[in-house]
Amino acid sequence: MASFDYVAVDAGGRTVSGALTAADEVSARALLVKRRLMPLEVLPARAGAVRAAPSAKGAKLDARTLALTTRQLATLVSVSPLEEALRTIALQADRPAVRRVLEGVHAGVMEGRRLSDAMGLQGQAFPPLYRAMVSAGEQSGALQPILERLADGLERDQQVQGKVITALVYPAVLAVVALGVITALMAFVVPKVVDQFDSMNQTLPLLTRVVIGVSNAMRDWGWLMIALLVLAVVLGGVALRNPAIRLRADTLLLKLPLIGRLTRDLHGAKMARTLSTMITSGLPVLEGLTITARTVSNRRLRQATETMAEAVREG
């Protein structure tokens, strides 16, 4: 199979360009006609110029970019062909990494692949759950409504995330400032006050002695405390890569009084919303559960979801 660059005119009279693979030029022109495009020029592709997908593989779209891209695609698909919508969005992308991903998807669609398959070629750019819902929309012939639902869900998640971040900014800044003030007092102010106490030759209260001891420890061994803290964080991150340890840690997290309940509630709400959208899109419940399980970050909840899917499979 050879690669060809082409320029053609679509049914609306617009000039489109792209790349495709075919046995020869005649087959390439026939493929364009089959896509309802009138070929104006079909030339062998230049080496390295056919695909943008390999260079973009591994570039993951952040949540905000994915939500914006989905909303734009849902809007454009309702008024123009899919390949034209993808090309327009790619041309409007500001960041080079995002542009390469979208150009790769556009190239895949122009080569005859389904949209979900073209997205799958872009590595981690599009989540598995996202691609599965797009695939369900293509199979049911309701791609535009599915993209609308995806955009609504992604935008709703962005709004919730923004509210959470806004609510946490003030307490976080306050905690950092308070910690800095306490550290400065213990390291620089308390040692000077201790000199005044030493000249009095009196026994100090227990609480005062504890504060002085903490100050001396921070001044003499502060560097060691920081080193041990960094080492603990690094070792903890390495340990969590072990599946068994990660499972135990996630199980312990679910047993915490407030955080555990909040984690379970968020997981249940997200799974219910995702399954509702999938079933509405025509995706089987079993496939929806299987895909949803792979997107759950908590290993204990993922195990429970996989068990649920297996029970459904067994009837």
* Six-digit token string for 306: 């996989």
- pLDDT of res. 228: 92
Prediction pTM value: 0.61
State pLDDT tens for residues 57-113: 546 788 889 999 999 999 998 888 888 889 889 888 888 888 889 988 988 888 778
* Six-digit token string for 222: 């502060």
State pLDDT tens for residues 149-160: 888 888 888 888
The whole-angstrom separation of Cα 267 and Cα 297 is 10
- pLDDT of res. 53: 41
Q: Which long-range contacts (CB under 8 A, 24 or more apart) does 175-183 make?
A: 183/218
Task: Give SS3 for 20.
Answer: strand
* Six-digit token string for 256: 């915490």
What's the angle, vertex CA 113, arms to CA 127 and CA 296, rounded to 5? 15
State pLDDT tens for residues 249-297: 989 988 888 888 888 888 888 778 777 777 776 677 777 777 777 777 7
State pLDDT tens for residues 46-66: 554 444 444 445 467 888 899
Kindly tell me if the per-residue pLDDT of 116 is higher than 80: yes
- pLDDT of res. 54: 43
- pLDDT of res. 50: 40
Kindly tell me if the per-residue pLDDT of 175 is higher than 90: yes
- How confident is residue 13, by pLDDT bands cut at 50, 70 and 90? low
227-266 as b/e: b if 16+ CB within 10 A: eeeeeeeeeeeeeeeeeeeeeebbeeebeeeeeeeebeee
Cα–Cα distance list, 27 to 11, 23, 101 (Å):
20, 6, 28
Kindly tell me if the per-residue pLDDT of 223 is higher than 80: yes
